[in-house]
Amino acid sequence: MNVTWKSPSNIALIKYWGKYGRQLPRNASLSITLDEAHTITSVTTEKKRTKKASCSLLFEGKPNPVFEAKVQDFLRSIQKDFPFLGSQHLLIETSNSFPHSAGIASSASAMSALALCLCSLDILHGGKLPEDFFRKASNYARLGSGSAARSVYPEFSVWGKTNLVPLSSNQYALASPVHYHANFNDIQDTILLVSRSEKSVSSRAGHALMDKHPMARIRYRNAVVRLEKLLSVLTTGDWSAFASIVEAEALELHALMMTSDPSYILMTPNTLDIIQRIRDFRERTQLPVCFTLDAGPNVHVLYPYYEKRKVRNFIQKELLPLCQDNQALYDHMGRGPIQIFE
Ligand code: PMV
């Protein structure tokens, strides 16, 4: 048996930062699913004698023992839910559309692609048809990497229990809960590669530092307030309100890192220079454009499709020179994962 899924990365507008239990979020988050930044994963099953879940993995066509061990541990941790893992060895081939050292988090696309493959294979091996295939895939993607839960849906996705979204859960994400305004059709996301070096502090360590963070309570409250505002702004189409919520979230994420114990800083001088230039450009031109940040120095520039030409001109002239090797990835809101049939 063989299945292949292509699954995208996503960028959070309302951030998930702080967790408990097994990858359960302290607050609900909301993201845009991307398109160009994606992982394609193909899994073939082979009958075996041993009972423990096992896999061999090729990353970008080459063996990758570190990644393989991580995936094997993950498979063993969920083996009781996927009985076929006890009789089949998995041959996994996975590759990303973006270069490994680009500083783009690959875990969301990689873990969602793998979870989708496992859910498809489960059905092929006689498992029960789930009530909601994508919800199930989202749950297992989350166990691999929290933010991956949101990658299985198109456009906007919400993950985490909130009274604002019926059926929302800490276990899985849901597709866009609102009918968003046409101003947000095909949002553009240019990812400025400010630094391609390895992060000094991992997301896992960053989440853990939230456990004793003096500002944790207020942070989780802020996330609820901003999610409520953002859900409403998505329906009204107000880019200026969108920009202020999204930028506040990005800066709060980094403020939490800076005020953790121990403190750390992932932004670089060029990150700040870019942020200031985006704000100056917005002020000067009144164009709808804003930024968000992941847990790293790279800047995501967000703008509507209908202002693509003007904003890209600005990016090319003013922002690319501040990126490592003048590099950026031009991405946009995507339609979610697709299964590939050979
Ligand atoms: O999925 P993780 O554990 O790598 O955490 C992701 C955290 C952020 O990217 C900073 C925010 C988010 O919601 O994606």
- Ligand 1 centroid–CA 16 distance in Å is 6
- Ligand 1 centroid–CA 66 distance in Å is 21
CA 113/CA 174 separation, integer angstroms: 17
Per DSSP, helices labelled H in the chain are 65-77, 107-124, 133-144, 203-209, 216-236, 239-258, 269-285, 308-314
Per-residue pLDDT tens digits for 267-310: 999 999 999 999 999 999 999 999 999 999 999 999 999 999 99
Task: Name the DSSP class of 160.
Answer: S
262 upstream amide cis, omega within 30 of 0: yes
95 and 59 Cβ atoms separated by less than 8 Å: yes
Query: For residue 116, what are its two tokens?
Result: 């989708």
For atom 6 of ligand 1, which residue has the closest CA? Answer: 147
Per DSSP, helices labelled H in 44-93 are 65-77
Per-residue pLDDT tens digits for 153-206: 999 999 999 999 999 999 999 998 889 999 999 999 999 999 977 778 899 999
3 state SS for 279-321: HHHHHHHCCCCEEEECCCCCEEEEECHHHHHHHHHHHHHHHHH
SS3 assignment, position 230: helix
Predicted confidence at residue 101, as pLDDT, reads 61
Phi, psi (rounded to 5 degrees) for 328: -145, 155
Q: How many CB atoms lie within 10 A of CB 294?
A: 23
Give me the mean pLDDT over the 232-244 stretch. 98
Q: Look at the block and give the residue holding tokens 């866009």.
A: 176
- Ligand 1 centroid–CA 250 distance in Å is 12
SS3 assignment, position 115: helix
From 17, 158, 254, 266, mutation site for ligand 1 pocket: most ligand atoms within 8 A of C-beta:
17
Q: Ligand 1 pocket by C-beta < 6 Å: which residues?
A: 12, 15-17, 29, 105, 107, 145-147, 203, 207, 253, 294-295
Residue 100, pLDDT above cutoff 90: no
pLDDT tier for residue 228 given thresholds of 50, 70 and 90: very high
Residue 295 alpha carbon, nearest atom of ligand 1? 10
Predicted confidence at residue 129, as pLDDT, reads 93
SS3 assignment, position 337: coil
For atom 9 of ligand 1, which residue has the closest CA? Answer: 294
- Ligand 1 centroid–CA 83 distance in Å is 30
List C-alpha distances in Å: 3 to 97, 140, 247, 278, 335. 19, 17, 39, 43, 20
Which domains does the chain possess? 2-179 (3.30.230.10), 183-332 (3.30.70.890)
From 147, 209, 226, 256, mutation site for ligand 1 pocket: most ligand atoms within 8 A of C-beta:
147
For atom 3 of ligand 1, which residue has the closest CA? Answer: 146
Per-chain mean pLDDT for the chain: 96
For 81-93, give the DSSP string.
Answer: G-GGGGTEEEEEE
Pairing of strands 54-59, 88-96: parallel
Predicted confidence at residue 103, as pLDDT, reads 63
32 and 300 Cβ atoms separated by less than 8 Å: no
Q: 129 burial class (0-12, 13-18, 19+ CB within 10 angstroms)?
A: exposed
From 16, 170, 220, 254, mutation site for ligand 1 pocket: most ligand atoms within 8 A of C-beta:
16
pLDDT tier for residue 99 given thresholds of 50, 70 and 90: confident
> Nearest Cα to 184, choosing from 220, 238, 139?
238
